[in-house]
A and B are shown apart, each in its own frame.
Chain A
Amino acid sequence: MTAPLTAAITLDHVSIRFGDFLAVDDASLQIAPGEFFSFLGPSGCGKTTLLRTISGFIEPTQGRVLLDGRDMQGIGPNKRPTALIFQNLALFPMMSVADNIAYGLRVRGLSRRARNARVDELLDLIALPDQGGKRVDELSGGQKQRVAIARALAVEPKVLLLDEPLSALDLKLRQHMRNELRAIQRRVGITFIYITHDQGEALTMSDRIAVMNRGVIEQVGDGRSIYEAPCTAFVASFVGENNAFIGKVMASDDGIAVVETPIGLLKGRNARGLIKGSEAVLFIRPDVLQPNPPSEHQWIGGRVSEMAYEGSLTHVAFNAGDTGQKITMTLGRTDAAAVPAIGAEAVIGYPVEDALVLPRESFGRD
Chain B
Amino acid sequence: MHSSVGHSLILALPLVVIAAFFILSMLERRKLGSLAPVSFWRRNGIAISSYLVIAVGLWTVIMIVLPQLYMVDLSLRPKLTPAQTGGPRDVYTLENYHYFLYGSTTSSANWNTTHIKAFFLTIGASVLVTILNFVLCYPLAFYMAQVTTRARVRIFMLLLITPYWVNEVLRAFAFRVLLGSQGVINTLLLKTGVIDQPIDFLGLDVGLYAGLAYAYLLMMMFSLYNAIESLDRNQIEAARDLGAPWWYIHWSVVMPHAKPGIASGATLVFMLNAGALAAPLVLGGPRTLWFTPIVYDRFYQAFNWQQGAAYAFILLLACIVFVLLVLRLFRVGLGEIAR
Known: A76-B240, A82-B241. A103 touches B235 (CB 8 A): no
User: Can you name the residue of chain B whose Cβ is closest to the Cβ of A86?
Assistant: B234
Selected A-B contacts with CB under 8 Å, 10 pairs: A78-B242, A78-B243, A82-B241, A86-B234, A86-B237, A92-B253, A103-B239, A104-B244, A108-B243, A152-B242
Contact indicator A151/B234 (Cβ below 8 Å): no
User: Can you name the residue of chain A whose Cβ is closest to the Cβ of B259?
Assistant: A94
- How far, in Å, is A155 (CB) from chain B's closest CB? 6
Quick one: which of A56, A87, A104 has the most chain B CB within 10 A? Answer: A104
Contact indicator B241/A77 (Cβ below 8 Å): yes
- How far, in Å, is A344 (CB) from chain B's closest CB? 56
Q: How far is the CA of A103 from the CA of B240 in the complex (A)?
A: 11
Q: Which residues of B contact A325 (CB under 8 A)?
A: none
Contact indicator A86/B244 (Cβ below 8 Å): no
Q: Which residues of B contact A84 (CB under 8 A)?
A: 237-238, 241
A57 touches B (CB below 8 Å): yes
B252 touches A (CB below 8 Å): yes
Q: How far is the CA of A152 from the CA of B248 in the complex (A)?
A: 18
A5 touches B (CB below 8 Å): no
Q: How far is the CA of A92 from the CA of B248 in the complex (A)?
A: 14
Contact indicator A79/B238 (Cβ below 8 Å): no
A171 touches B (CB below 8 Å): no
Contact indicator A77/B235 (Cβ below 8 Å): no
Contact with B along A71-101 (1 / 0, CB 8 A): 0000011110011101110111010000000
User: Can you name the residue of chain A whose Cβ is closest to the Cβ of B256?
Assistant: A94
Q: Which residues of A contact B239 (CB under 8 A)?
A: 92, 103
User: Can you name the residue of chain B whose Cβ is closest to the Cβ of A108?
Assistant: B243
Contact indicator A55/B235 (Cβ below 8 Å): no
Q: Which residues of A contact B244 (CB under 8 A)?
A: 78, 103-104, 107
User: Can you name the residue of chain A whose Cβ is closest to the Cβ of B237?
Assistant: A57
Tell me the residues in window 122-151 of chain A with beta carbons closer than 8 Å to chain B beta carbons.
151
By DSSP majority rule, is chain B's interface helix, strand, loop, or mixed? helix
Tell me the residues in window 221-240 of chain B with beta carbons closer than 8 Å to chain A beta carbons.
232, 234-235, 237-240
Contact indicator A78/B253 (Cβ below 8 Å): no
B257 touches A (CB below 8 Å): yes
* Count of chain A residues near B, Cβ 8 A: 24
Taking Cβ atoms with an 8 Å cutoff, the residues of A that contact B are 55-57, 76-79, 82-84, 86-88, 90-92, 94, 103-104, 107-108, 151-152, 155
- How far, in Å, is B263 (CB) from chain A's closest CB? 14
Quick one: which of B235, B241, B256 has the most chain A CB within 10 A? Answer: B241
Contact with A along B237-275 (1 / 0, CB 8 A): 111111111001000110011000000000000000000
Known: A92-B253, A94-B257, A107-B248. A77 touches B232 (CB 8 A): no
Q: Which residues of B contact A88 (CB under 8 A)?
A: 232, 234
Q: Which residues of B contact A107 (CB under 8 A)?
A: 242-245, 248
Q: Which residues of B contact A91 (CB under 8 A)?
A: 238
Q: How far is the CA of A87 from the CA of B248 in the complex (A)?
A: 23
User: Can you name the residue of chain B whose Cβ is closest to the Cβ of A82?
Assistant: B241
Contact indicator B235/A155 (Cβ below 8 Å): no
User: Can you name the residue of chain A whose Cβ is closest to the Cβ of B233?
Assistant: A90
Contact indicator A103/B242 (Cβ below 8 Å): yes
Q: Which residues of B contact A94 (CB under 8 A)?
A: 256-257
- How far, in Å, is A241 (CB) from chain B's closest CB? 34
